[in-house]
Amino acid sequence: MSDPVPLSESVAETGLILAGAALVRAELAAAAAVVAARRARVLAHPDLRDRLTGELGYARAEQWNGYVPPALCQDQEPERLHDVQGFPNPTRAVPGRTRNDSGRRAVLVEICAEALRRENEAVR
């Protein structure tokens, strides 16, 4: 049977877990604010709203939640590292990333960039 964990260590670990959870909640809130601002920026322009329904197939522009997929995607199969002789090392792998060349993402990036450009132009 293993020795019990001292209470002070257990409390310290719980504090770290709670601090980590608070950090994650803060990051999620910040990301949600960015997405909401992006959505509002785009929906403020009737022609950009039309692009959401026309080019991207939303029944209503309001259905878009403001999310734009990431520029890089995680590969399904990680890249296998090789040893000095060039043989694959089955114990070491690096997750590969490929560029997200989705047409849907390209249209969303274009729409969002135009909305941001207009917002910046209006501020000047």
Nearest-angstrom CA–CA distance, 82 and 72: 24
CA atoms 74, 114, 116, 38: torsion sign: negative
**CB 81, CB 94: distance < 8 Å:** yes
Question: How much is the pTM?
Answer: 0.70
Give every CB contact of residue 83 below 8 A, 6+ residues apart in sequence.
Answer: 89
Nearest-angstrom CA–CA distance, 53 and 75: 30
Model pLDDT for residues 12-67, shown as the tens digit of each residue: 677 777 888 888 899 999 999 999 999 999 999 999 999 999 999 999 999 999 99
**CB 97, CB 27: distance < 8 Å:** no
